[in-house]
Amino acid sequence: MIKAIKGTRDILPPAGARWAAVENEVRDVFRVYHYGEIRTPIFEVSELFSRSVGEETDIVSKEMYTFLDRDGESITLRPENTASVMRAYLEHRLDQNAGISRLYYIGPMFRRERPQRGRYRQFHQIGAEVIGSERPEVDAEVVVMVSDLLRRVEVKDFEILLNSVGCKECRPVFLAALKSSLEPVQANLCSDCQRRATTNPLRVLDCKVPADQEIISTLPSILDHLCSACRGHFDRVQLLLNDQQLPYSVTPRLVRGLDYYTRTTFEFTHGELGAQNSILGGGRYDGLAAQLGSKMPAPGIGFSIGQDRLMLALEKEAASAVSSLDVFIAPMGAEAARLAFSLAHGLRARGVCVEVGPDAKLKRSLELAHKLVARYTLIIGDEETRSGQFLLKEMTTGEQVSVTRELLFSRFTTTTDHGI
Ligand SMILES: [Zn+2]
Ligand SMILES: [Zn+2]
The domains located in the chain, with CATH, are: 15-170+226-317 (3.30.930.10), 327-414 (3.40.50.800)
pLDDT, residue 416, reads: 47
pLDDT, residue 318, reads: 54
Report the separation in Å between the CA atom of 277 and the middle of ligand 2, taken as the mean of its atom positions: 18
Report the separation in Å between the CA atom of 147 and the middle of ligand 2, taken as the mean of its atom positions: 31
pLDDT, residue 102, reads: 97
pLDDT digits (tens, 9 = 90+) for 345-389: 999 999 999 999 998 899 999 999 999 889 999 999 988 888 999
- Round to whole Å and give the CA distance between 139 and 302: 9
Report the separation in Å between the CA atom of 170 and the middle of ligand 1, taken as the mean of its atom positions: 4
- Round to whole Å and give the CA distance between 67 and 55: 16
Residues sharing a CB contact under 8 Å with residue 407, sequence separation 6 or more, in sequence order = none
Report the separation in Å between the CA atom of 246 and the middle of ligand 1, taken as the mean of its atom positions: 25
Query: Kind and range of the H or E element at 101?
Result: strand 101-110
Report the separation in Å between the CA atom of 73 and the middle of ligand 1, taken as the mean of its atom positions: 39
Report the separation in Å between the CA atom of 204 and the middle of ligand 1, taken as the mean of its atom positions: 21
- Round to whole Å and give the CA distance between 242 and 250: 12
In sequence order, what are the beta bridge partners of 77?
A: 43
Environment class of 247 (CB within 10 Å of its CB; exposed 0-12, middle 13-18, buried 19+)? exposed
Phi, psi of 308 (to 5 degrees): -60, -45
**Range in 66-70, 324-328, 341-345 the model is least confident about:** 324-328
Radius of gyration of the chain (CA): 27
The secondary structure of residue 50, as a DSSP letter, is I
Q: What is the DSSP string of 259-288?
A: TT-EEEEEEEEEGGGTTS-EEEEEEE-TTH
Report the separation in Å between the CA atom of 194 and the middle of ligand 2, taken as the mean of its atom positions: 8
Report the separation in Å between the CA atom of 285 and the middle of ligand 1, taken as the mean of its atom positions: 13
Report the separation in Å between the CA atom of 288 and the middle of ligand 1, taken as the mean of its atom positions: 16
Buried b (16+ CB within 10 A) or exposed e, 191-216: eebeebbeebbbbbbebeeeebeebb
Cα distances (Å, whole numbers) of residue 127 to 86, 277, 305, 334: 13, 18, 6, 51
Report the separation in Å between the CA atom of 212 and the middle of ligand 2, taken as the mean of its atom positions: 5
Nearest ligand to the CA of 207 is: 2
- Round to whole Å and give the CA distance between 355 and 128: 38
Report the separation in Å between the CA atom of 82 and the middle of ligand 2, taken as the mean of its atom positions: 27
pLDDT, residue 369, reads: 94
pLDDT, residue 317, reads: 59
State the pLDDT confidence band at 156, using cuts at 50, 70 and 90.
confident
Report the separation in Å between the CA atom of 256 and the middle of ligand 2, taken as the mean of its atom positions: 15
pLDDT digits (tens, 9 = 90+) for 205-242: 888 899 999 999 999 999 999 999 999 999 999 999 99
Share the mean pLDDT of the chain: 90
Report the separation in Å between the CA atom of 357 and the middle of ligand 2, taken as the mean of its atom positions: 60
Report the separation in Å between the CA atom of 203 and the middle of ligand 2, taken as the mean of its atom positions: 9
Report the separation in Å between the CA atom of 219 and the middle of ligand 1, taken as the mean of its atom positions: 19
pLDDT, residue 357, reads: 93
Nearest ligand to the CA of 185 is: 2
- Contact of 251 with 163, CB cutoff 8 Å: yes
Phi, psi of 293 (to 5 degrees): 95, 10
State the pLDDT confidence band at 118, using cuts at 50, 70 and 90.
low
State the pLDDT confidence band at 419, using cuts at 50, 70 and 90.
very low
Write down the pTM of the prediction: 0.83
Report the separation in Å between the CA atom of 217 and the middle of ligand 2, taken as the mean of its atom positions: 12
State the pLDDT confidence band at 276, using cuts at 50, 70 and 90.
low
Residues sharing a CB contact under 8 Å with residue 398, sequence separation 6 or more, in sequence order = none
- Round to whole Å and give the CA distance between 147 and 26: 11
Query: What mean pLDDT comes out for the span 116-132?
Result: 91
Report the separation in Å between the CA atom of 270 and the middle of ligand 2, taken as the mean of its atom positions: 23
Report the separation in Å between the CA atom of 276 and the middle of ligand 2, taken as the mean of its atom positions: 16
Percentage of the chain lying above the pLDDT 90 cut: 72
Q: Given its phi and psi angles, is residue 382 left (phi above 0), alpha (psi -120 to 50 degrees) or beta?
A: alpha
- Contact of 40 with 84, CB cutoff 8 Å: yes
Report the separation in Å between the CA atom of 79 and the middle of ligand 1, taken as the mean of its atom positions: 29
The secondary structure of residue 416, as a DSSP letter, is T
Torsion angle of C-alpha atoms 16, 21, 24, 29, degrees rounded to 10 = -130
- Round to whole Å and give the CA distance between 304 and 295: 26
pLDDT, residue 282, reads: 95
Report the separation in Å between the CA atom of 261 and the middle of ligand 2, taken as the mean of its atom positions: 22
Q: Given its phi and psi angles, is residue 333 left (phi above 0), alpha (psi -120 to 50 degrees) or beta?
A: left
State the pLDDT confidence band at 272, using cuts at 50, 70 and 90.
low
